[in-house]
């Protein structure tokens, strides 16, 4: 049975677009059943509409507390019944109730070779550290910050004249390959988590 994929994104949505196109090409054995966003101005919304994917907006600014927002987000996710939740540029830290509910069924794309450079501005952190290789990581989400079991990584070279934008752009090209690939593997039941390791068969 085709897996129900729900993408959660806060902004531009270029990774979401890569997922949409991989699903449309039939490369991913799943259906993108909803975009859920915390940001009513996210460009990802237009991408969803263009692809005929339902949009659920849980506007963070309309909630009196983070707890209430998280409850609404969890309710919205339950409503769309995901087999897989994909965080693709979701710019908030998820509360533990959601993380627990979707344990083993929620993945995130991060623009660094984890465990280096967690959190915001990963590309800037990499440049400031002076690394020669940078990249992206797709991982299962657990309650740590960008610390769950790693599904796959792709790397790029860091050039002497890179700034944050040029490095981010080079990494993004790899993100658009890595994220659909990880989703494809999940949808084909090829991933199993054994402790910190993800086995791919």
Phi then psi for residue 129, to 5 deg, are -80, -20
CB contact at 8 A, 38 and 92 = yes
Of 12-20, 27-35, 52-60, 144-152, the window that binds ligand GRF (rule: CB under 6 A) is: 12-20
Return the structure tokens found at 136: 């992206």
Residue 19 to residue 123: CA distance in whole angstroms: 22
Collect all residues with Cβ–Cβ distance below 8 Å to 138 and sequence separation of at least 6: 107, 108, 109, 110, 150, 151, 152, 153, 178, 179, 181, 182
Position among 5, 88, 151, 187 found at the interface with ligand GRF (CB under 6 A): 88
SS3 assignment, position 133: strand
Residues contacting ligand GRF: total by CB under 6 A: 14
* Minimal distance, residue 127 CB to ligand GRF, in Å: 14
User: Among 30, 34, 48, 110, which residue interacts with ligand GRF (rule: CB under 6 A)?
Assistant: 110
Site string for ligand GRF, 90-109 (x = CB under 6 A): -------------------x
CB atoms within 10 A of CB 108: 23
Binders of ligand GRF among residues 111 to 140 (CB under 6 A) are 111
Question: What is the x/- site pattern for ligand GRF, positions 136-175, by CB under 6 A?
Answer: ------------------------------------x--x
- Does residue 89 touch ligand GRF according to CB under 6 A? yes
Give the pair of three-digit tokens for residue 133: 């290789």
Q: Select 73 or 109, whichever has its Cβ closest to ligand GRF.
A: 109
Task: Return the number of the residue (16 or 60) whose C-beta is nearest ligand GRF.
Answer: 16
Answer for the pair 168, 124: CB distance below 8 angstroms, yes or no: no
Active site residues: 110
């Amino acid at each position: 049975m085709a897996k129900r994929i729900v993408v959660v994104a806060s902004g531009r949505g270029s990774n979401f677009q890569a997922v949409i196109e991989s699903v449309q090409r039939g490369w991913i054995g799943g259906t993108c059943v909803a975009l859920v966003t915390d940001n009513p101005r996210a460009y990802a919304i237009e991408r969803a509409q263009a692809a005929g994917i339902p949009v659920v907006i849980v506007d963070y600014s309309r909630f009196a507390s983070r707890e209430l927002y998280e409850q609404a987000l969890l309710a919205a996710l339950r409503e769309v019944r995901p087999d897989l939740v994909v965080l693709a540029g979701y710019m908030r830290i998820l509360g533990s109730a959601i993380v627990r509910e979707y344990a083993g069924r929620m993945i995130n794309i991060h623009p660094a070779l984890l465990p280096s450079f967690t959190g915001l501005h990963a590309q800037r952190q990499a440049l400031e550290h002076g690394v020669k290789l940078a990249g992206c990581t797709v991982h299962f989400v657990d309650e740590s910050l960008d610390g769950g079991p790693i599904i796959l990584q792709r790397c790029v070279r860091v050039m002497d004249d890179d700034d944050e934008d040029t490095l981010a752009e080079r990494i993004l090209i790899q993100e658009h390959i890595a994220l659909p690939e990880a989703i494809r593997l999940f949808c084909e039941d090829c991933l199993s988590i054994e402790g910190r390791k993800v086995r791919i068969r």
